[in-house]
Structure 1
Amino acid sequence: MNSAELLVEAYGRIRETVHEAVDGLGAEELNARLDPGANSIAWLVWHLTRVQDDHIADAAGGEQVWTADGWADRFGLPFDPAETGYGHSAAEVGKVRIESAELLTGYHDAVHERTTAYLEGLRPQSLNRVVDESWSPPVTLGVRLASVLSDDLQHAGQAAFVRGCLSRR
């Protein structure tokens, strides 16, 4: 297995966990919050997908699926299209209201498809390319991909946890 195949496998696990957390849920469950300051399943999956979309598009030098394929319009959220949810307050989290699991998984699957296509084309030496010089040390593509993977898996796991809590109510 080479590094590109490993990354494709790892990012595929995000998709699997997202589907397990979301499939079959209605709007009430998707938007439920365990307490007023907690993140909903809808927000968690939207946010993790927005971050992946943003970072992969930047690394690939292309437009985000969110804007290029009309997902921002379909979601109709009250934010600038560049918004990813990073640093959202509890009030902003509450503004992410999603009416269907299919909308969330549709966007996630579109981002996953774009991510997979990008990852499949990576060569090992590509992972050393600096993609962000605003940090010390500068961030390489490999570090950025690992960071997105880690963040996304954590949020997908949080969504699965919230689903479990809601199912036991």
Structure 2
Amino acid sequence: MRSADLLADAFGRVREAVHEAVEGLTTDDLAVRLDSGANSLAWLVWHLTRVQDDHIADAARTEQTWTTDGWYERFGLPFSPAATGYGHRSRDVARVRAAGDLLLGYHDAVYERTVDYVRGLRNADLDRVVDEAWTPPVTLGVRLVSVIEDDMQHVGQAAFIRGALGRR
């Protein structure tokens, strides 16, 4: 198996887990916060997708799906187009309300661009430095694994919230 195939499989697993967490829930369900400081399922999926979009676009040296394909306007959130949710406070989390089809549509669009990008990578591409602000500098391979790890943590949190909703 090529590294590119392994990465594509991992991003596919993220996509499957996002769909499992979101499908069949109402906009109100997606906005539930288990306490006043907790993230909502909608915020978690929006955030993990924004980070993936941001990081993959940067690595691929392309524009983000969020802005080029009109998702920023469709969501209508009161944040700058560059916002990914990093550093959001409780009041910002509360502002992320979205229907499941909107969240899944955006996630699927980012997934498609991500997989198109990673499937074209060769093993040697993974050694390219993409961020020199860290010690050691971050390579493309490390960045992609980091995005997958972050996505899986957030989608796991979303799945937990879905389970809690089902127990109510």
How far apart, in 2, do the equivalents of 1:164 and 1:105 lie? 19
CA distance in 2, matches of 1:148, 1:37: 24
Matched, 1:148 2:143: no
- Which residue identity lines up with residue 138 of structure 2 in the other structure? V
Identity score, percent:
68
Letter in 2 for 1:59: A
| 1:13 partner letter | R
Q: List, as ranges, runs of 4+ consecutive aligned residues in structure 1 with deviation greater than 3 Å.
A: none
What's 1:44 paired with?
44
Determine the structure 2 residue equivalent to 1:108: 107
CA distance in 1, matches of 2:131, 2:29: 37
In the aligned structure 2, how far is the partner of 1:164 from the partner of 1:4?
Answer: 33
Give the partner amino acid of 1:149: I
Partner of 2:120: 121
What are the within-5 Å matches in structure 2 for residues 10-159 of structure 1?
10-98=10-98, 100-159=99-158
Read off the aligned partner of 1:161 and give its amino acid letter.
F
Aligned residue identity for 1:60: A
The answer for unaligned runs of 5 or more in structure 2 is none
Structure 1 residues not aligned, in runs of 5+: none
- String of CA shifts for 1:111-152, please: whole Å, max 9, x gaps: 000000000000000000000000111000000001000000
Cα distance, 1:86 vs. partner? 0.7
Hey, what's the Cα distance between the residues in 2 that align with 1:102 and 1:95?
Answer: 18
SS of the counterpart of 1:24?
coil
SS of the equivalent of 2:82 reads coil
- Please give the secondary structure, in 2, of the residue aligned with 1:131: strand
For residues 12-33 of structure 1, the C-alpha deviation after alignment (integer angstroms, 9 at most, x for no partner) is 0000000000001101100000
Write the letter of the residue equivalent to 2:72. Answer: A
The structural deviation recorded for 1:54 is 0.2
The TM-score with structure 1 as length reference comes to 0.99
Question: What is the Cα deviation at residue 91 of structure 1?
Answer: 1.1
Match of 1:166 in 2: 165
RMSD value over aligned CA atoms?
0.5
- With normalisation by structure 2, the TM-score equals 0.99
Instruction: Kindly state the Cα deviation for residue 10 of structure 1 after the two structures are TM-superposed.
Output: 0.5
- Shift of residue 94 of structure 1? 0.8
Aligned mates of 1:84, 1:165 — CA distance in 2: 26
Residue by residue over 1:33-70, the C-alpha shift from the partner in whole angstroms, topping out at 9 and shown as x without a partner, is 00000000000000000000000000000000000000
Following superposition, the deviation at residue 87 of structure 1 comes to 1.4
Aligned length: 168
